[in-house]
Structure 1
Amino acid sequence: MATYDAWGRRERAGGRQPLPMEVASHVRELILSGEVRPGAFLRVERVAEATGVSSTPAREGLFVLRSEGLVRLVPRRGFMVAPFTRQDVRDLFWAQAQLSGQLATRAAQRITPERIGRLEAMLEEFQTAVTTGEPQHITALGHRFHREINLAADARRLSLLLRSVVRHLPDRFYAAIEGQVAATRTEHPELVEALRRHEAHRAGELMREHILAGADRLIEVLEGRGLWRDLQEEPDGDPGGAAR
């Protein structure tokens, strides 16, 4: 029997995505974290080498990103990273906030004491990970926390729509965004309390505010990395081993 994750995505055996999707995830992260700049050309061979796959799934992964508008196919030159703006970032977070807020609203109406217990355990684990300085664990716990709420909502179609939005957003440097972890330490407990009290409207509002605040933090990080400054200086750079 097929299984699905909290975003409505069909899972493969072992929990892995198809290879082209893994390639797309890797390169998408490089683009949206500012490691590969707009105007850079992405060579299939370099992408394949960086992701440990053959040229065919690497090329298919780049076509996935083309369908998302993140890269363009330039005749006789290959795949080029397309420009994206601050408003593009805000729009992605807005879409995520609306869907996540609705899922939190529904979760508050039907969440069980068992799920509340799991969320509380995650809060404690999160605090420990912050104290001990474990950025990868912090990121994983953030995903687990939201996944638990999405599962509680029992709305697979909404989760599927949310998945299509979330995959556009970078998460590998989530814990490095200044203010993000500190805000999460405050906002997640407030959200759990609203869920425990079955305060559907408040849970939805808290979730929307939590997601939207991340847009400005990410934009600040990308500005600090010079993403929208002098884009023509290094159009053919090779950050992350993905460009030519």
Structure 2
Amino acid sequence: MADLAPTRLAQRPQLSEEVADHVRTLIMSGEIRPGDFIRLDETAATLGVSVTPVREALLTLRGEGLVDLVPRRGYLVSPMSRQDIEDIFWLQAELSKRIVDRAITRYDDAAIEAHARLIDDFEAASAAGHADGVVHAQYAIHRFINRVSRSDKLSRFLSNAARYMPYRLYAEDPEWRAGAIVDHRRMLQALRDRDLETAHDVVDGEFANGARLLVAHLERAGVWDEVREPELAAEA
């Protein structure tokens, strides 16, 4: 079910959040599909943790609408439509544009220089084909814009929405990485010039492309090939 080392999560704080992130990524990347059961014992053994943080994680995911609880059967992955994916990315785009509106007036020379270094980090990780480094650099760039905007509540809402994005899926795609570098540099220039129209255009393009790529990936994974019935017979 996972390619994490058995003791990796056991060494981290906030285990339930780590487990929730892991299972959420499996769902959003199509590795587990609507109608599939998520076994507590199996998941715990795979991640090298006890059943308790797995149960807590699944309660969190239930609250997000990603899994359903079947009485006396356990948790199974909830239905997810193409529109759900589009909505998630639309929400992120709208929140991001609002944050950029506030950040753009606060970008001084020091902020521009710091932002440029983060883009350099992204480009270096991309050139090395280092997916984890790309994910980290992508997160750092967006977090920096959020911090400059001084919009703590909006940034928290955006962070919650961004949890649904399987970033590694994008980071492993050389074409996406090349496009992201162009977008990052366009955004930096827009922030330098205080060109809000271009900044919004970059945001809209980034999230529209992200939604398109994820929908296409899930289609290839067969997520919407058929309506899958819960595996109740196997659980009886």
Sort the TM-score into its range (normalised by shorter chain): 0.7 to 0.9
5+ residue gaps, structure 1, are 1-15, 237-244
RMSD value, Cα: 2.0
The TM-score, its normalising length taken from structure 2, stands at: 0.87
In the TM superposition, what is the alpha-carbon distance from 1:199 to its structure 2 partner? 2.3
User: What is the distance in 1 between the residues matched to 2:30 and 2:202?
Assistant: 29
In structure 1, the residue matched to 2:93 is: 97
2:68 aligned with 1:72: yes
Give yes or no for contact 2:93–2:203 (8 Å, CA) kept in 1: yes
Match of 1:193 among 189, 194, 202: 189
- Aligned letter for 2:89? F
In structure 2, the residue matched to 1:221 is: 217
User: What is the distance in 2 between the residues matched to 1:80 and 1:233?
Assistant: 10
In the TM superposition, what is the alpha-carbon distance from 1:178 to its structure 2 partner? 6.4
- Aligned letter for 2:51? S
User: What is the distance in 1 between the residues matched to 2:82 and 2:175?
Assistant: 19
Match of 1:111 among 104, 107, 125: 107
Give yes or no for contact 1:109–1:199 (8 Å, CA) kept in 2: no
153-162 vs 203-212, which deviates more? 203-212
In structure 1, the residue matched to 2:44 is: 48
In the TM superposition, what is the alpha-carbon distance from 1:104 to its structure 2 partner? 1.4
In the TM superposition, what is the alpha-carbon distance from 1:162 to its structure 2 partner? 0.8
Match of 2:198 among 198, 202, 205: 202
CA 1:187–1:128: 2 relative to 1, 3 Å = same
CA 1:49–1:20: 2 relative to 1, 3 Å = same
In the TM superposition, what is the alpha-carbon distance from 1:234 to its structure 2 partner? 9.7
User: What is the distance in 2 between the residues matched to 1:171 and 1:17?
Assistant: 21
- Aligned letter for 1:100? S
In the TM superposition, what is the alpha-carbon distance from 1:177 to its structure 2 partner? 4.1
Give yes or no for contact 1:101–1:207 (8 Å, CA) kept in 2: yes
In the TM superposition, what is the alpha-carbon distance from 1:131 to its structure 2 partner? 2.1
User: What is the distance in 1 between the residues matched to 2:55 and 2:80?
Assistant: 22
User: What is the distance in 2 between the residues matched to 1:30 and 1:145?
Assistant: 24
- Aligned letter for 1:123? I
In structure 1, the residue matched to 2:122 is: 126
User: What is the distance in 2 between the residues matched to 1:202 and 1:129?
Assistant: 26
2:130 aligned with 1:167: no
User: What is the distance in 2 between the residues matched to 1:69 and 1:232?
Assistant: 17
Which structure: greater helix fraction? 2
Percent sequence identity over matched residues?
38
Match of 1:176 among 160, 169, 172: 172
Aligned residues: 221
- Aligned letter for 1:84? M
Give yes or no for contact 2:37–2:230 (8 Å, CA) kept in 1: no
Greater relative contact order, per chain length (Cα 8 Å cut-off, separation 6+)? 1
Give yes or no for contact 2:129–2:172 (8 Å, CA) kept in 1: no
- Kindly report structure 1 stretches of 4+ aligned residues shifted beyond 3 Å: 230-236
User: What is the distance in 2 between the residues matched to 1:51 and 1:115?
Assistant: 39
User: What is the distance in 2 between the residues matched to 1:146 and 1:235?
Assistant: 40
